[in-house]
């Protein structure tokens, strides 16, 4: 077993422990929480565990620290846009403010190797980046958002989101 797989398995167990009765795991995998950085290029690194259920999208922002699990009720999503860049994609979801863990940009250049600090605070936009738009978790997330009557827009983007 590898270090990365062990971390993903631990994250999956922690997320499963929080599922409500009747909540079904539809897809899980890896992504990158780029809500505060907007860096689509980092979406391929995938140090975030994500699980899409019939009610929520739940994720562990950094599997290396396995801190508190973030959870967004899919009924609270007001809009969703898929941003495409090269072979990567990101889902930008607007919702009521959600107090959760997120990365604090530290002002270093994009291609610098560094770890950002995690802090808890309210965010009204969640951006999850995927290595490709066809990742199973990305597809299930788009499907669940569409089932709630939202039209998912698509845009091409440079390597960084606003």
The pLDDT confidence band at residue 13, using thresholds 50, 70 and 90, is very high
Query: How confident is the model over 69-103, as pLDDT tens digits?
Result: 999 999 999 999 999 988 889 999 999 999 887 66
CATH number for the domain running over 3-15+27-105+116-153: 2.30.29.30
- Concatenated DSSP letters for the chain? --HHHHHHHHHHHHHHTTPPTT--EEEEEEEEE-TTT-BGGGGGT--EEEEEESSEEEEES-TTT--SPEEEEGGGEEEEEEEEETTEEEEEEEEEEEEEEEEEP-S--TTS---PEEEEEEEEEEEEEESSTT-HHHHHHHHHHHHTT--EEEEE--SB--
Domain boundaries, the chain: 3-15+27-105+116-153
């Amino acid at each position: 077993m590898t270090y990365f797989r062990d971390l993903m398995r631990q994250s999956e167990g922690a997320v499963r422990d929080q599922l409500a009765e009747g909540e079904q795991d539809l897809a899980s995998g890896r992504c990158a929480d780029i809500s505060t950085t907007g860096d689509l290029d980092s979406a391929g690194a995938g140090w975030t565990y994500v699980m899409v259920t019939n009610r929520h999208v739940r994720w562990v922002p950094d599997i290396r620290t396995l801190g508190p699990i973030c959870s967004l009720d899919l009924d609270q999503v007001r809009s969703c846009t898929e941003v495409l860049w090269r072979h990567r994609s990101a889902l930008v979801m607007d919702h009521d403010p959600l107090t959760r863990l997120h990365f604090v940009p530290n002002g270093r250049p994009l291609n610098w190797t560094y770890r950002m600090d995690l802090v808890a605070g309210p965010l009204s936009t969640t951006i999850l980046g995927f290595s490709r738009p066809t990742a199973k978790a990305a597809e299930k997330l788009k499907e669940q958002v569409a089932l709630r009557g939202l039209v998912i827009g698509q845009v091409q983007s440079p390597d960084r989101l606003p």
